[in-house]
Amino acid sequence: MTETRHSAAWLPAAIISLGIAAAGYFVGQTLYNSQVGINTADVKGLAERRVESDRAYWRIQYTVSGEDKNAIPALYEKSKEDQSKIVSVLLASGFDAEEVSPGVVDYNRLEFRDDNQKLVDEKYVLTGSIEVETAKVRQVSAARAKLNELIALGIDIRNNAPSYYFTTLNDIKPEMLKEATTNARLAANEFAANAGVSVGGIRSAVQGGFIIRDVGDNYSDTQKIEKDVRVVTTITFYLTE
Which CATH number covers residue 152? 3.30.70.2970
Q: Same domain, yes or no, for 117 and 208?
A: no
Adjacent-strand bridge partners of 111:
122
The answer to whether position 4 is within a domain reads no
Regions of the chain where pLDDT drops below 70: 1-38
Which of 163, 169, 180 lies closest to 224 in space, CA to CA? 163
Which of these, 41, 24, 43, lies nearest to 233 by C-alpha position? 43
pLDDT reported for residue 8: 33
124 and 182 fall within a common domain: no
Residue 94 region, left (φ>0) first, then alpha (ψ -120 to 50), else beta? left
Residues 107 and 127 in one domain: yes
Q: Among the three residues 162, 186, 202, which one is the final residue of a domain in this structure?
A: 162
Q: Are residues 94 and 155 in the same domain?
A: yes
Strand partners, 89: none
Between CA 107 and CA 53 the distance in angstroms is: 35
- Spatial neighbors of 167 by CB under 8 A, at least 6 apart, are 54, 55
Tell me if 80 is assigned to some domain.
yes
Say yes or no: 116 and 146 in one domain: yes
CATH code, 22: 3.30.110.170
Range of 180's domain?
A: 18-52+167-240
Crossing angle (nearest 10°) for helices 140-148 and 72-92: 140
226 is a domain residue: yes
Structural domain ending residue among the three candidates 147, 162, 177: 162
Please tell me the predicted confidence (pLDDT) of residue 122: 85
Domain boundary among 162, 186, 208: 162
Domain presence at residue 7: no
Give the tens place of pLDDT for each residue, 130-157. 999 999 999 999 999 999 999 988 899 9
Predicted confidence at residue 69, as pLDDT, reads 83
